Amino acid sequence: MPDSEKALDAEKQEVALSEGTELTRDRVTFLPRSDIYETNDALVLLMDIPGAKEEDIDITLEKNILTVHALVEPKEPENYALALQEYEIGDYQRSFRLSNEIDQDRIEASYRHGVLRLVLPKAEAAKAKKISIKAE
Amino acid sequence: MYYRRYRAPSIWQEVERLQREMNRLLESFQPRRVQPAPSFPAMNLWVSDEGIVVTAEVPGIKPEDIDVSVVNDLLTISGERLPEQVGEEVRYHRRERGCGKFARSIQLPFAVDANKVEASFENGVITINLPRKEEEKPKKIKVVAK
């Protein structure tokens, strides 16, 4: 049910690679948890990418495929030894195929508290036109 | 005449699938790199003679919505992730990001100085620095050769 709220989840999901494909960076890559919702004039995407720096987030839109790729540099406190590890630090990557026509020039992206927010305005032609049915 | 419309999976595809299943099964016996967190948030704990550093990924939570408390050697992180405020006329395509209240306590390997605990917040990651009590720091004992 996409409309109901989900409970908090502690585990991260790794990116599934197609067979025969490898990542160039020898690092785990995670699938960021995402919310996508549609309003009358835009598609809004929220993505959890904790630990990434703003400048290391790469967003591309090519032929309706939106890809978000974030590089995360692990920060380790100096002279400390890891005693318990419940999560791994790795990159994030995820792609979505957008069904609507998006106005590419007006895409807005912001990153705050580890959440990337993308507002993808619909192109004028793709905006829903309400057609009212006349009762006869 | 019986006409077969769909191709049945070939025997080799079946064997390959079986092999993948077996590999997956064997992998599950190997020790994991990560210990699964019992509840949100997952934490990493770093230890030295000087103290402990705890980090946790808490994306989408404002620093004021998170509480950190320390009693002797028990660290508690609690808070709430609020749902995104959206208007009335929205249609969700996908909803994977959870929200709600959370609280988690973790037993530290030694008692820390609660007055000197510091927590910082950066890009959705909380880092808690817990220095060890001065009187409990391990003392180096010199071995004298005779």
- E-strand ranges in chain B read 43-47, 51-57, 66-71, 74-81, 91-95, 100-107, 118-122, 125-131
- Which residues in B17-45 are b (16+ Cβ under 10 Å) and which e? eeeeeeeeeeeeeeeeeeeebeebbbbbb
**Of residues B98, B99, B92, the one with CA closest to residue A36:** B92
Does B98 contact chain A (CB < 8 Å)?
A: yes
pLDDT given at position A7:
79
Residue A112's domain comprises 25-74+85-124
Q: How far apart are CA A14 and CA A90, in angstroms?
A: 9
**CB distance B47–A80 less than 8 Å?**
yes
Give the DSSP letter of residue A63.
Answer: T
Structure-block tokens of residue B35 = 């210990």
Q: Which of residues 42-81 of A touch B (CB under 8 A)?
A: 43-44, 46, 48-53, 76-77, 79-81
CB pairs under 8 A between A and B: 158
Q: Please say whether the beta carbons of B64 and A102 come within 8 A.
A: no
Tell me if B78 is assigned to some domain: yes
pLDDT given at position A110:
93
Tell me if A13 is assigned to some domain: no
Residue of B nearest to A28 (CA): B33
Tell me if B74 is assigned to some domain: yes
Tell me if B88 is assigned to some domain: no
**CB distance B95–A3 less than 8 Å?**
yes
- How many domains, chain B? 1
Structure-block tokens of residue A95 = 């792609």
Report the complex ipTM.
Answer: 0.78
Tell me if B93 is assigned to some domain: no
Structure-block tokens of residue A10 = 């502690």
Tell me if B15 is assigned to some domain: no
Amino acid identity of B13? Q
Q: How far apart are CA A63 and CA B6, in angstroms?
A: 33
Centroid of chain to Cα A2:
16
Predicted confidence (pLDDT) per residue in B63-81, tens digit = 999 999 998 889 999 999 9
Phi, psi at residue B35, to the nearest 5°? -90, 125
User: To the nearest whole number, what is the mean pLDDT of chain B?
Assistant: 85
**Preferred mutation among A8, A18, A47, A127 to probe B, highest tally of B CBs within 10 A:** A8
Mean pLDDT on B53-68:
92
Tell me if A19 is assigned to some domain: no
> Which residue in B57, B81, B93 is closest to A38 by CB distance?
B93
> Which residue in A37, A43, A53 is closest to B86 by CB distance?
A37
pLDDT given at position B31:
59
Tell me if B144 is assigned to some domain: no
Does B45 contact chain A (CB < 8 Å)?
A: yes
pLDDT given at position A1:
45
Residue B71's domain comprises 37-83+100-136
Predicted confidence (pLDDT) per residue in B84-132, tens digit = 877 778 888 888 898 899 999 999 988 899 899 999 999 999 999 999 8
CA distances (Å), A96 to each of A45, A61, A79, B15, B93, in order? 10, 9, 41, 32, 12
**Of residues B24, B96, B90, the one with CA closest to residue B60:** B96
CA distances (Å), B146 to each of B139, B140, B143, in order? 22, 19, 10
Does B17 contact chain A (CB < 8 Å)?
A: no
**Of residues A95, A93, A88, A96, the one with CA closest to residue A71:** A93
Tell me if A89 is assigned to some domain: yes
Residues in a beta bridge with A132 = none
Q: How far apart are CA A57 and CA B76, in angstroms?
A: 32
pLDDT in tens, chain A (136 residues): 455 677 787 788 887 777 667 777 777 889 999 999 988 888 899 999 999 998 999 998 888 889 999 999 888 888 898 888 899 888 999 999 887 678 888 889 999 999 999 999 988 776 666 677 887 7
- How many domains, chain A? 1
3-class secondary structure, A124: helix
Residue A32's CB: how many other CB atoms inside 10 A?
26
Domain of residue A69, CATH code? 2.60.40.790
Tell me if A35 is assigned to some domain: yes
> Which residue in A8, A34, A51 is closest to B124 by CB distance?
A51
* B10 against B131, higher pLDDT: B131
Burial class (CB in 10 A: 0-12, 13-18, 19+), A17: exposed
pLDDT given at position B123:
92
